[in-house]
Homo-oligomer: A and B are copies of this chain.
Amino acid sequence: MRILGVDPGLTRCGLGVIESASARRVTLVDVRVATSPSTLETPARLAQISAVLEAVLDEHRPEALAMERIFARSNVSTIMGTAQVSGVIMLAAERRGIPLSLYTPSEVKAAVTGDGRAGKEQVTFMVQRLLGLAEAPRPADAADALAIGIAHAWRGAAAPVGSGATTDAQRRWAEAEKAARRRS
């Protein structure tokens, strides 16, 4: 299954395309960071981000779109731009009939590192390892977009702990899932 992971933002919007095969293996297809300068007005900035998004959708035809769920943060001006971008992305997905799923940052961190409070470096390291990349994906927005895609690929499909196909990372993810279920 081809998945587009999106880390939404008006200044930088991470767009990571992965292919999720059997045995919970994920491979990198493409990763881009759409940018727009803060010197432009918001409508023009949204159009720049949208143009890159539409190009990625045209080229890779993902079957699913996964995006970070947005919460209110202290920086109100940033959150407004992020919400506006997320609206544009949601509409693009809906118009193409692509199902969209939302994940909190801690769900994504737990998926790729086993720890919902993992730092950015740890997420980047695990994304590189899980996708078998020679170099770490940069900037952080690219790694985050790929992490969101991986979280979606693995959602509800945790391999049983101790099964032959399970990697260290997958075992930690399954354990994190179990721990999360115990807490809720």
Interface residue ranges, A against B (CB under 8 Å): 41-44, 46-47, 50, 70-72, 76, 79-80, 83-88, 90-91, 93-95, 100
The dominant DSSP class at the A interface is helix
Q: What's the least CB distance linking A23 to chain B, in Å?
A: 31
Max chain B C-beta neighbours (<10 A), residue from A86, A88, A90: A90
A/B interface sample: 23 pairs, CB < 8 A: A43-B90, A43-B100, A44-B94, A46-B90, A46-B91, A47-B94, A47-B95, A70-B80, A71-B76, A72-B72, A72-B76, A72-B79, A79-B83, A80-B83, A83-B84, A83-B87, A84-B86, A84-B87, A84-B90, A86-B87, A87-B88, A88-B88, A88-B91
A46 touches which of B42, B43, B94 (Cβ 8 Å) = B94
Residue from B44, B76, B85, B94 in contact with A87 in the complex, judged by beta carbons closer than 8 Å: B85
Q: Complex: how many Å from CA A70 to CA B85?
A: 15
Give CA–CA (A149, B43) in the complex, Å: 18
Shortest 8 CB-CB contacts between residues of A and residues of B: A84-B87, A83-B83, A43-B94, A87-B87, A43-B90, A72-B76, A47-B94, A46-B91
Chain B min CB distance to A153 (Å)? 20
Residue numbers in B under 8 Å from A83 (CB-CB): 79-80, 83-84, 87
- A17 CB → nearest B CB, Å: 19
Which of A41, A91, A100 neighbours the largest number of chain B CB atoms within 10 Å of its CB? A91
User: A71: which B residues are within 8 A, CB to CB?
Assistant: 76
Closest residue of chain B to A70, judged by CB?
A: B80
Instruction: Beyond A80-B83, A83-B83, list 14 extra A-B contacts (CB 8 Å).
Output: A43-B90, A44-B94, A46-B90, A46-B91, A46-B94, A47-B95, A50-B91, A70-B80, A72-B72, A72-B76, A83-B84, A84-B87, A85-B87, A86-B87
